[in-house]
Chain A
Amino acid sequence: MTSAGALAPATAGEDVRLTRTAQPAVIVIFGATGDLTQRKLVPGLYGLATQQLLPPETAVIGVARRDIPDDEFRAQMRAGVEAHGRFPIDEDVWEGFARRLRYLSAPFDDRRGFELLRAMLEEEDRRRGTRGNRLFYLATAPEFFPVIAESLGAVGLADEGHGTERFARLVVEKPFGHDLGSSRRLNTRLGAVFRERQVYRIDHYLGKETVQNLLVLRFGNAIFEPIWNRRYVDHVQITVSEELGVGSRGGYYDTSGALLDIVQNHMLQVLSIVAMEPPARFESRDVRDEKVKVLRAIEPFDAASVARDAVRGQYAPGWIAGERVPGYREEKGVDPGSNTDTFVAMRVMVDNWRWSGTPFYLRTGKRLPRRATEVAIQFKQAPHLPFASSAVESGAPNLLILRIQPDEGASLRFLAKVPGPQIDLRAVSMDFTYGNAFLRGSPEAYERLLLDALLGDSTLFARWDEVERAWEIMQGLIEIWSSEPGPYPNYEAGSWGPEAADALMARDDREWRRL
């Protein structure tokens, strides 16, 4: 028996019962009365508090223009947690959490408001011992991103000091610009105040359990990686479909569209995780280096590839889930002659040793028949089937499906013999569903990402070179589509998009998965 004295003292990293603990900090949410704060951010923070993942000293200050007292802000946030939180309200936890929840009414372009904020932060440091650590979360309209960052810089709040351990981090929501030029200008302005390592560009898809599980599936198992390449994979389909229309976001969405809202950020992030080389370590720099290499292997769109490999759509009236719904141009806040895309399908080639010749097909849209986000890896057909032709007609290639939402999980399709006196093949699925395998629920993406930002772990955030390359890839498409009117509307709400999207696949003798 080894004596206790012979063992080295355990650190928190080695203690299986202790999870990572962040430093105490003040979290400042700009845009505190907005939808995101109420639906995601405060419920996420409350979820962390419930799980003892937030140091008890941590304070939250909401900043917005509206003039409301602290108590009203707390009541609104409580309503948000009750409606959208993963955990029911525990009065003891809530009481402690709410006591550290404050509100500051200040216009984002008024320097005096930021001086008040600085005073509040210093007061919190004194009262709660938050040690000068700040996490600034920009949940505002994008035009305020640089304004807020510059104001923070002007009052000295972006400074981490020399030789100190205190941090000042800036979390930036999407959209990070609306094209290559605007994203570069935004980055330059943020970069004048915050260093790259202080900036956390959030893409909530990366906080989703299944997206992270994709990394585990690929790099934690020995059986997938050997076949994860052009020799065995026929093609990859990435789908983000929504049955909802634009709802109350018509005004914002009409300036954005599916390409900017979903493809340029979320879908390229997912694609880069599907296609990346194994990182040496699951650490921020290694993972992001590999992701950006994938993006560099994708040729930016030009006029020829736009015409050949990309399809855009906009929905007409139709039926969704048994209800008649209006067309996009009849939605509230949308220009009746709008040229905004609500559907995008494209073929992307990753020109590197692993993927050369294996297409990645992306499709996303609003008012599609069902909500689903998934990655489907379709493997090549078996080279030879030694069965009667009548038996294999129903044969289907192997398919690995990673469901990101809903029903997070994975399934593997393969052929099996139907019981009976003859050889008859049928595709069957081996399913893994998070809810079935693990009784504990998955954390909300924002919960995970807020914790990572507090911990200073930027692995699941987008680095500037990734974001810039994603814009470079899409820039040609953005320019052509914004200058030429689309053939709109060109798909009925409740259908799977325009016929041209099916033609894009049919040209390669493939078809979209029916979801």
Chain B
Amino acid sequence: MTTVAPDPPVAAWDGVGVSIAQVLDRLAAQRRPEDGGPPLNLAGVLNLIVPVPDAGELEAMRTVIEGLAGHQPSRAVLLVESDSGEGIDATVSTSCRWSGGHASVCVELVVMSLHGEGRAGDASAIQPLLRSDLPTVLWWPDTPDPSPDGPLARMAPLADRIVTEAGRAPEGAQAVSRLAAWVPGAPGAVTDLAWAAITPWRRLIAQMIDIGEIASPDSGPVRAVITHPGAGPTAEALLLAGWLGDLARDRLEVSLRGGSGEVAVLGLEIHLPARHQRIAIERMPDRQAATVCVTQPGHDGRGRALPLPAFDRGRLLAGELELQRRDHAFERALPFAAEVAHR
């Protein structure tokens, strides 16, 4: 899967002090070609709600969404909230693609700024903009805010699926604890980009050893060491520990240790003494690969380089948007991750 930048926006419109009805009119108008022909088809497969935590992040988040156009065409509403001023400002842009000889609108992007007390009505401003009969995903670019009357509590009921980003919090342990406390009561299916980021790790482990053996009570204790950058564990390292915890339950003895590096998980060792099995994975600096060494009876493994991609945020999000189901493995791993975080 690759993310492809869409064709440039065909039209853009800025409105100051607008109503939601005007925004909807504008979205409809931008589907009508200038030559008076039939309206362009809409290629959307989902609605995306994106609260922007800081106006300085807007452009980066907008670029991520525009990059999804190829395989996750959507109507996206980016929400910027500001204490000052009043009313609603909006920018509407649409991007089109050619497919089979026809142009289709594939990203309809509304950047909506809510000012002053109107922020409390954020969910009501978003809801009319969502297209009926498409799944709605809320990309919450942070750990969940547990406040019962905060923006997440207002917006989450609009979504079928909520994608959080615990990995952006400065303290992984606190982020994972908050995530684990919030998920069971969430109104929709939840997943997290930190969890998505460790999928290549989990895939690599599953390719190298039989994870059924980790899960089997007959395998005895499972000892794991996860290396993360810096002093405190990252959310990704904790979630990886949580996944192993879900597999091995109380047979898991996991320790996390700090190392030096940039990526969220630097290395992992799993040791099953009763099976005489050991796997050591160490990410290679600045490469989309790791050195992997598997030791098991009759086979004293040597280290070899295997692919271990580290996806950027856009790619991680694209993967999560494709998955419409609940992620039970994530839901099961989370309490174990929180338990490790509390230690």
Interface, chain A (partner B; CB < 8 A)? 243, 318-324, 369-372, 390, 393-394, 399, 401, 411, 413, 418, 424, 426, 428-429, 433, 435-437, 439, 494, 513-515
Contact = CB atoms under 8 A, between A and B. Distances in A.
A372 B127 CA distance: 13
A318 B132 contact: no
Interface of A is mostly: mixed
Contacts of B37: 439
Nearest to B158: A514
Given A322-B88, A322-B114, A515-B132, A369 B41 contact: no
Given A322-B114, A435-B38, A494 B133 contact: no
A410 B326 CA distance: 29
Interface of B: 19-21, 37-39, 41, 45, 88, 114, 117-118, 120-125, 127-128, 132-134, 322, 324-326
A-B interface, 8 closest residue pairs, ranked by CB to CB distance from nearest: A322-B125, A319-B121, A321-B20, A319-B124, A494-B124, A369-B127, A394-B324, A370-B128
Contacts of A515: 132
Given A411-B133, A418-B322, A429-B133, A435 B39 contact: yes
Contact of B118 (A323, A401, A439, A513): A323
Given A321-B20, A418-B322, A243 B128 contact: yes
B227 to A, nearest CB: 31
8 contacts: A319-B124, A322-B118, A322-B121, A324-B117, A370-B127, A401-B132, A428-B45, A439-B37
A367 to B, nearest CB: 10
A324 B39 contact: no
B324 A426 contact: yes
B39 A436 contact: yes
B133 A318 contact: no
A442 to B, nearest CB: 14
A324 B322 contact: no
A322 B121 CA distance: 5
A510 to B, nearest CB: 17
A314 B278 CA distance: 66
A319 B123 contact: yes
Given A319-B124, A435-B39, A394 B118 contact: no
Contact of A393 (B114, B120, B322, B326): B326
Given A413-B133, A435-B39, 18 more contacts: A243-B128, A319-B120, A319-B123, A319-B124, A321-B21, A322-B114, A322-B122, A323-B19, A323-B118, A324-B118, A369-B128, A370-B127, A393-B325, A401-B133, A424-B325, A435-B38, A494-B121, A494-B127
Contacts of B117: 324
Contacts of B120: 319, 324
A130 B91 CA distance: 55
B124 A322 contact: yes
Residue among B114, B133, B324, B326 with most chain A CB within 10 A: B133
